[in-house]
Structure 1
């Protein structure tokens, strides 16, 4: 059963909802039924190994979020995928989340996660957290995503084409997550344009994308997943973490909002043990 947490804004009449805790109902354990086929809204189906940093995160054996590998032993996700939970199953190297036989697949079960100490579920501020895997993730089809450099702090990425991936629902009417990993390319909006919909809940710690009239973007179950940009050297860098969308629905045409990773480089260095590039 999905959980939609509606937030009242200080200024805007529009509402936002966190996209977490959608029941995965997939077969990692006996007794769970398979998902109804679905997908991230729009986009294409990923090939095995195309997103070596992508993580699938099952929360307390029920909810589902995305995530990304940022070091060999730490996954990055949204704070609302951690808040109030006790145990996380992190799957890496997967394309079909139902298929335990995939040769690159690795699974970690952790009770060691940390959300940002100033996370606020009412304003969805500081929606960032980490999961310590308790082991080393490595091998074919698995590698960490690059984090932004300190020189990119203050970069808005407005107008850039970026890519988001996940196993989230393909429509508002679909009740469960996708078995296959999907991805879609979207365009970064200016924060002022995003705030015209969501009001002053949009601040410098958030980054938004256009959903092309609700035909392309993220949905329930994509929470915590990575938004990446391909830089001039050909490498991808994670600049956003799937955070929230409109309570009017994933297909409403409203912007999708992400946690802006460049605002949390010090926090990540201090808490995840990663080294941030100059």
Structure 2
């Protein structure tokens, strides 16, 4: 009885998706960068606490992961753009949220359409001394072996305490979706939805919602990771259903 209970707990920990706003994500073994290298990046706060990242897709709109925002009151959300160091948040472009559009059919269990389009109350200023620049959506399919760049403010390792305030980045390769799905089904008894794509391990607590960028375009959005040596999971922006949803709400 006790052994079974302990095994169940271990299994749950190893296969935890960890895609929740309160379980914050950091780029593992990433390199520090300045905001000029990731002008689309947005830090999302619940009042004063960093919870997730996002990407500016036009001056009124930020794309992030749906699970980041689902359990947070809209008036608690604060978006800050134009900064790499969260200690300098007061110098960034700070915006409140006007409305949130969750992915059509979003399912918290399967993470189908784990995408959110956030409209801000006041447009971001592209001509400000605080730099920002919207990122365009991917106009091609991601394929295994392609490399994406991920930048966010998550933990630097799964065991680290606290969070480095500096924006970090890492390059990861897309892996075969079927192999990823088979791995999660075998190890975790989890069936990944059609809107998920996988990449080699690289993200950690606090990186949820960050953009996966290739050739200067938004191709994926960080969804979560596993502690059992499985690939990381992303919402696939190159999936027609996901891309069309984002475009319809921009």
Scaled by the length of structure 2, the TM-score of the pair is 0.83
Helix, strand or coil at the partner of 2:230: coil
User: Which of 214, 228, 234 matches 2:213?
Assistant: 228
Find the counterpart in structure 2 of residue 58 from structure 1.
Answer: 45
Find the counterpart in structure 2 of residue 167 from structure 1.
Answer: 153
Count of residues in correspondence between the two structures: 228
Which sits farther off after the overlay, 161-170 or 55-64? 55-64
Q: Which whole-Å CA distance do the structure 2 matches of 1:47 and 1:240 have between them?
A: 21
Q: Which runs of 5+ in 1 are unaligned?
A: 1-7, 9-13, 25-37, 212-216, 231-235, 273-278
User: Which of 196, 200, 208 matches 1:210?
Assistant: 200
Query: 1:119 Cα shift?
Result: 1.0
Q: Which runs of 5+ in 2 are unaligned?
A: 1-7, 9-13
Aligned pairs (5 A) from 1:104-183: 105-137=92-124, 138-139=126-127, 140=129, 141-149=131-139, 152=140, 155-183=141-169
Q: Which whole-Å CA distance do the structure 1 matches of 2:142 and 2:16 have between them?
A: 22
RMSD: 2.3
Q: Which whole-Å CA distance do the structure 2 matches of 1:48 and 1:243 have between them?
A: 22
Q: Which whole-Å CA distance do the structure 2 matches of 1:81 and 1:60 have between them?
A: 14
Q: Which whole-Å CA distance do the structure 2 matches of 1:69 and 1:186 have between them?
A: 21
Give a deviation string over 1:108-145, Cα, whole Å, max 9, x none.
12252121231111111110001111111123520101
Query: 1:177 Cα shift?
Result: 2.8
User: Which of 219, 227, 230 matches 2:204?
Assistant: 219
Aligned pairs (5 A) from 1:1-278: 15-22=15-22, 39-59=26-46, 61-62=48-49, 64-87=51-74, 88-100=77-89, 102=91, 105-137=92-124, 138-139=126-127, 140=129, 141-149=131-139, 152=140, 155-199=141-185, 201-211=191-201, 217-230=202-215, 236-246=216-226, 248=227, 252-263=228-239, 264-272=242-250
Q: Which whole-Å CA distance do the structure 1 matches of 2:248 and 2:147 have between them?
A: 30
Which sits farther off after the overlay, 252-261 or 193-202? 193-202
Helix, strand or coil at the partner of 1:208: strand
Give the 3 Å change call, closer, same or farther, for CA 91–101 of structure 1 in structure 2.
closer
After the TM superposition, which parts of structure 1 deviate over 3 Å for at least 4 consecutive aligned residues?
A: 60-63
Q: Which whole-Å CA distance do the structure 2 matches of 1:229 and 1:193 have between them?
A: 22
Query: 1:219 Cα shift?
Result: 0.8
Q: Which whole-Å CA distance do the structure 2 matches of 1:112 and 1:203 have between them?
A: 26
Helix, strand or coil at the partner of 1:266: helix
Give a deviation string over 1:21-78, Cα, whole Å, max 9, x none.
2478xxxxxxxxxxxxx95101210123110000100135545001000001100000
Give the 3 Å change call, closer, same or farther, for CA 126–21 of structure 1 in structure 2.
same
Give a deviation string over 1:187-244, Cα, whole Å, max 9, x none.
1001012113212623431111112xxxxx11111111100112xxxxx111110101
Higher helix share: 2
Residue 60 of structure 1 contacts residue 86 of structure 1 at CA under 8 Å; is this kept in 2? no
